[in-house]
Structure 1
Amino acid sequence: MNPESDADRRQAALPYTLLPITPSVIRELEDRQSSRAQLPLEGSLRPVEEVRNRGYSYRVGAGDVLNVVVWEHPELTNPGNELRDTQSAGRLVGPDGKMFYPYVGNFQAAGMTLAEIRDYIAENLQRVIRTPQVDVRVLEYRSQRVFVTGEVEQPGVSVIDDTPRGILDLINEHGGLRETASRRLAVLSREDESHLINLHALHARGDTRYNIALEPGDVLHIPDNSADKVFVLGEVEEQGSVPIDRNYMSLTEAIASARGMDALAANDASVFVFRSGVQPGVSQLCDCEPEEALVFGLDLSRADGILLAERFELQPRDVVYVSATDFARYNRVVSQILPTVSTLFQLDRLVND
């Protein structure tokens, strides 16, 4: 592969650009990665801390069970003095969002906060009670549900209560992540839209911006790590795929995970990383089109090459290829020819004998 051969790369079935790995390229890639991490959250996504700081009030929904207490009026709190526990004496918000209370009648409770329900009941009770003192609380939270699927220990349903709940809370409530779970990304579905959540920033860096506050109907999906792999091929001791467990893997780590380069056959001066797909901001790295694949080249026979390899961050589905030396290629050609030559030699001896 020759970086000067522009015609070859432009006319290839899949156009590519050969780009030597240099300190400036490393810095540019790191800046792009940092800028992507600083992108604002999409649409209605808000960190749970922001929701808490702004003041959060739970809004009652259909199916919730409320407990209404009118002080010094047990006949309203527990009509008929029935021997029932507090739980069974609660007031159910019906499927239509309405709730009944004596001397108040049916009213639309769904969508109201507890303070609004308390004030509404107290205002309507003034017809029969002087300055009523009313307290309202939720006995059972049933209306607002969120779902978690995929690679968690206990996929299922959770309900939102009077405390804002974020993505981390939901994952922990369901037993945490499985060994096969992706540590890079999660998918949050809300109102027919899907949003990618940076799990690595949340878990490894503690970036609470990605601890998104959940809303009723949200579906959080944790994918498996099958897409979080790089492939190491060529003159290494053990070719194969290497999972990115911590969302970060350097070129050095990938080669080391393949048990290093073959000491006899590898050409450490010709190590390549193949990266396909659309490359945002690629024009800042080279004179190439955004849809072109990138092939990064590195000389690991130099001391600075090893230092650069440690700083070069691999992306999922990257292919690392370690080239063979010319002598190794020559030996392979000879090893393939040798059986034929040996056979001809034996045939010649048989004929001569």
Structure 2
Amino acid sequence: MRVFMRFYFVLFLSLSLTACSLPRGAALMQEVVRETKADSPSFQVIEVTRTELATVAQWPRAAKQTKTYWPKASKGPNSSTIRAGDTVDLIIWDSNDNSLITSPGQKSTEMRGLTVSPSGAIFVPYLDDVVISGMTANDARRNIQTRLTDISPSAQVQLMLRQGLQNSVDLVSGVTSPGTYPLPSRNYNILSLLSQGGGIDKTLRNPQVRLVRGSKTYSIRAEALLSDHARNITLQGGDTVIVREDDRYFTALGATGSERIVYFDKEEITAMEALSMLGGLSDGRANLKAVLVLREYSTKQVGTGRNSPDLPYVVFAFDLTNADGLFAARNFDIEPDDTVLATESAVNAARALFGLIGSAFGLANAASGN
């Protein structure tokens, strides 16, 4: 009997030591906040309540946040103007038998493939360079015909315009039919372009529409563009439109329904919505008193007073066992690159220890019976 009592004692001692290193999927709350008691803590812990939420809301956005802009809508005359790089075809008709323009026995002459020069002109025989840039096709035809009057009063001009790259836009991705599209008029807007390209791909997550115009890039959520007529801007020649998924994300760790990278599926996500996207908290593992959001600020954003964090690394802690913590989580915005961490319940570790002890005593009793 003494042998088995000694065995029980040694087994209990070894299991107690083993419990300290039991494998767990998340940290205990006391492990996370232990750093705050250090003489020089490396991160700051904020227990988020509805009262504290008002203060945190005044803090700057995290370092990697960037502002997005969208140009104002504008309209021009309902026509397409000629620009450098466009191609013009001219047919000049003249019924005069002694015309300088047409060959003997012919009533017309054709001049095809006239490229509008960088200065906005085309070369027409007997007229030299004729500036037509900025004109509509009809205005350019009248201008050429008027100038030909001194040479051949009966001449009539027919003009066909083929728009070049400066009078077209590129629709790069995120639609059924990407490609280069000519501008049919100066009122051609971005929604018309997206529609002509087959519409935005419905499989895209929270699609973003980006406009590259010269050296500037603008961005807007597709939902905002579709819902606000004032955002439906007029396109300009040389514009590039890109439709792509929202690439912002946060990371989920610990005793949640899943541990993974989670992409934003809408413009703003609260802490409560983030937990819902993860499938909730793990039953029996998660500590509802300590759901954490880890965030990193730039060194320039800290230490400037009450409206800023004290340290670059901040842990926001939520107690979901009371209404105050629940409402705070409903109104706390997750930012890109945040980490949502559900800490491990201490009860879970204790249960594992007691289970091991129970199993050990069962084995010992079985050995004693033999």
Question: Is the TM value for this pair above 0.5?
Answer: yes
> Contact 1:234–1:322 (CA<8 Å) still a contact in 2?
yes
Q: Which residue of 2 aligns with 1:303?
A: 323
Q: 8 Å contact 2:251–2:262 — kept in the other structure?
A: yes
Tell me, in whole angstroms, the C-alpha distance in 2 between the residues paired with 1:247 and 1:20. Answer: 22
Partner of 1:63: 86
Cα pair 2:291 2:320 within 8 Å, conserved: yes
1:121 is matched with which residue?
Answer: 144
Tell me how far apart the structure 1 counterparts of residues 284 and 272 of structure 2 sit (CA, whole Å).
19
Matches within 5 A, 1:94-133: 94=115, 96=117, 98-101=121-124, 104-109=127-132, 111-114=133-136, 117-118=140-141, 120-128=143-151
Alpha-carbon deviation of 1:205? 5.2
Q: Deviations 1:183-207 (Å, cap 9, x if unpaired)?
A: 364444344x352402256346527
Pairwise CA distance, 1:269: 1.8
User: Residue 174 of structure 1 aligns with which residue?
Assistant: 197
Please give the root-mean-square deviation of Cα atoms over the aligned residues, in Å: 4.7
Is contact 1:25–1:285 with CA below 8 Å preserved after alignment?
Answer: no
User: Which amino acid letter does the alignment assign opposite residue 149 of structure 1?
Assistant: V
* Separation (CA, whole Å) in 2 of partners of 1:179 and 1:326: 45
Q: Does 1:153 align with 2:153?
A: no
Q: Which has the higher contact order (CA 8 A, sep 6+)?
A: 2
- Could you list the runs of 5+ residues in structure 1 that have no partner in the other structure? none
- For residues 104-253 of structure 1, the aligned pairs below 5 Å read 104-109=127-132, 111-114=133-136, 117-118=140-141, 120-128=143-151, 139-144=161-166, 145-179=168-202, 181-183=204-206, 185-191=208-214, 193=215, 195-199=217-221, 202-203=224-225, 206=228, 208-209=230-231, 211-225=232-246, 227-253=247-273
Alpha-carbon offset, residue 245 of structure 1: 1.9
Aligned-partner Cα distance in 2 for 1:26–1:77: 80
TM-score by length of 1: 0.69
**Inter-partner Cα distance in structure 2 for 1:298 and 1:137:** 71
Structure 1 residues 278 and 21: alpha-carbon distance in aligned structure 2, compared to 1, 3 A threshold? farther
Q: In structure 2, what is the equivalent of residue 20 of structure 1?
A: 48
CA contact (8 A) 2:95 2:107 kept: no
| CA distance in 1: counterparts of 2:355 and 2:95, whole angstroms | 100
Alignment partner, residue 46 of structure 1: 71
Specify the alignment match of 1:327 in structure 2: 347
* 1:41-80 superposed Cα distances (whole Å, 9 cap, x missing partner): 4xxx733x22x0699862433233367899999x999994
CA contact (8 A) 2:209 2:219 kept: yes
Specify whether residues 277 and 105 from structure 1 end up closer, same or farther in structure 2 by C-alpha distance, changes over 3 A only: same
CA distance in 2, matches of 1:139, 1:295: 63
Distance 1:81 1:336 in 2: 105
- Kindly indicate whether residue 310 of structure 2 is the aligned counterpart of residue 288 of structure 1: yes
Aligned length: 326
Looking at structure 2, the residues matched to 72 and 16 of structure 1 have their Cα atoms a distance apart, in angstroms, of 90
Instruction: Evaluate the alpha carbon distance shift between residue 248 and residue 205 of structure 1 in structure 2; reply closer, same or farther with a 3 A threshold.
Output: farther
Say if 1:70 and 1:76, in contact at 8 Å, map to a contact too: no
In structure 2, how many angstroms separate the alpha carbons of the residues matched to 1:281 and 1:205?
35
**Rg: which structure is higher?**
2
Rate the CA distance shift 1:119–1:204 in 2: closer, same or farther, 3 A.
closer
**How much does 1:281 deviate?**
6.3
1:108-166 deviation per Cα after TM superposition (whole angstroms, max 9, x unaligned) = 43x33227635642552342467x99898754323423223343333322223323444
Q: More displaced, 280-289 or 319-328?
A: 280-289
User: Which runs of 5 or more residues in structure 2 are unaligned?
Assistant: 1-31
Q: 1:316 to 1:185 in 2, by over 3 A?
A: farther
